[in-house]
Amino acid sequence: MEIAWVLVSIALLVLLISWAKVHPFIAFLVTSIFAGFVLGLPLDRVPGSIQKGLGDMLGSLVAIICLGAMFGKLIAESGAAQKISAVLIGWFGERRITWALMLTGFIVGIPLFYNVGFVLLVPLVFSVVYYSRLPAVYLGVPLLASLSVTHGFLPPHPAPTAMVPMFNASMATTLIYGTFVAIPAMIIAGPVFARAFRNRQTKLPELFVPQDMPVEKLPGTFNCFGTALLPVIMIAGSAALPALAEEGTLLHRALLFISDPFVVMLVALLVATATLGLARGMRIQTLMDHYSGAVKDIAVILLIIAGAGALKQVFVDTGVNDAISAALTDLPINPLLLGWLMATVIRVCLGSATVAGLTAAGIMAPVVAASDVDPNLMVLAIGAGSLMLSHVNDSGFWMFKEYFNLSLKETLMSWTLMEGIVGVVGIIGVLIMDAVL
């Protein structure tokens, strides 16, 4: 009966967000109260359980996500993203232009949150469209596919970053594994799938005629690539640092300190502030204004993450997590595939990849704890499911439709299929890694 109430609670969450149009944060809080009541948590303990879930979830994440947002904002405002795109297109040439755009989305998408990356990079696609006369959808799909995989698979993006502590996974290992899963996913959903639109011309809205920063004002190539990739290099490299010293020594503690993701993001932001900001004549007040704006942009994401933490904590405090674990671990299905399926169902119902990933993670956390499944691969499996089959309840669907001036059917045949390919190839990659590792 406990599991049935969990399913009813998730159904309530879906209805509140998709049908009643309630803000996801409020929907999570209402659902948490409902779940606590029907699962037998004493009423006087429900507020405390929710507050603990809010605090525990945000406590380890708010600094990383906020610093990541500030970092991405500077990459955008300094012209580094435009420079990276121009350099890659210059290297690859027109014949391989879809591959250049895919790499642009991957590199720039690592520090940028998805919606910011979309708004920033789509005008760059239109710049290439006006220059090359190639179809916009043909050029846009590879870039947006790579943006999708960074959003679903790679820290410091919100969902994978939030799932790492939920499963006691490793940020560095998840990033390394995620890169291996992301590469085939973005290739197949990007340049390969884009060939279907090689001859599909669309008329671009005049509103989106690109307004690029003058070339002479762009940062240097090494500066742009080195700074944009610095968090990735530091997080990936930090996996081996603590092993360089004997445990318990001062050096070991120092290496643990500098390998912490929070410290990594702070260092990356400080370096970017110096190299892309102050060194190029930007005033400190201008930089701080950009950073303030970046935090405002992700406030809603932080609230959604906090709400998911509240619901998870209610499940823990009622003891239903043990019941879920016992029931699911006995199912004749790979836990990684089960996590992917749960995230897929929630994604199709709700539209939000972040909500889908965090909700599925809250359900699967006790399963991971009670089994020998690799927690880093579970982050990626749920991430793949959270990207599946974006449709009319997802803001990204409508952004793609309007920017590229497509019909509803054309958007379903391009955007929705692209996201489906990313999710399917992603889970196949996760299952292969599970079999090999």
Which residues, 6+ apart, have CB-to-CB distance to 303 below 8 Å? 24, 25
- Cα separation of 67 and 56, whole Å? 18
Please state whether the predicted TM-score (pTM) of the whole model is above 0.75.
Answer: no
Establish if 374 belongs to a structural domain: yes
Establish if 323 belongs to a structural domain: no
Establish if 233 belongs to a structural domain: yes
Q: Please, what is the angle between helix 353-370 and helix 375-386, to 10°?
A: 150
- Show the domain range for 339: 75-298+332-437
Establish if 391 belongs to a structural domain: yes
- Cα separation of 177 and 255, whole Å? 22
Establish if 209 belongs to a structural domain: yes
Establish if 2 belongs to a structural domain: no
Q: What is the rounded (10 degree) CA torsion for 107, 113, 116, 120?
A: 0
Q: How many domains would you assign to the chain?
A: 1
Establish if 436 belongs to a structural domain: yes
Q: Which of 379, 399, 359 is nearest to 16 (CA)?
A: 359
Establish if 251 belongs to a structural domain: yes
- Cα separation of 200 and 128, whole Å? 16
- Cα separation of 144 and 121, whole Å? 9
Which pLDDT tens digits describe the chain residue by residue (437 residues)? 677 888 788 888 878 887 888 888 898 899 999 999 998 899 899 999 999 988 887 876 788 778 877 887 888 788 887 787 778 777 877 678 889 889 888 887 776 667 666 766 776 677 677 656 788 899 889 999 998 898 888 877 777 888 888 898 888 888 889 999 999 999 999 999 999 988 776 666 554 444 567 777 888 889 988 887 787 777 666 656 666 777 778 877 887 788 777 888 899 899 999 999 999 889 999 999 989 988 887 787 788 878 878 887 887 788 776 666 566 656 788 899 999 988 888 887 666 787 788 888 888 888 888 888 899 999 999 999 999 988 766 767 877 887 787 888 888 899 999 999 999 999 999 999 999 98
Q: Please, what is the angle between helix 2-18 and helix 335-350, to 10°?
A: 40
**Which tokens is 106 given?**
């991957």
Indicate the burial class of 62 (C-beta count within 10 angstroms; 0-12, 13-18, 19 or more): middle
Look at residue 116 and give its three-state secondary structure: helix
Distances (CA, A) of 395 to 2, 130, 173, 367: 34, 26, 31, 31
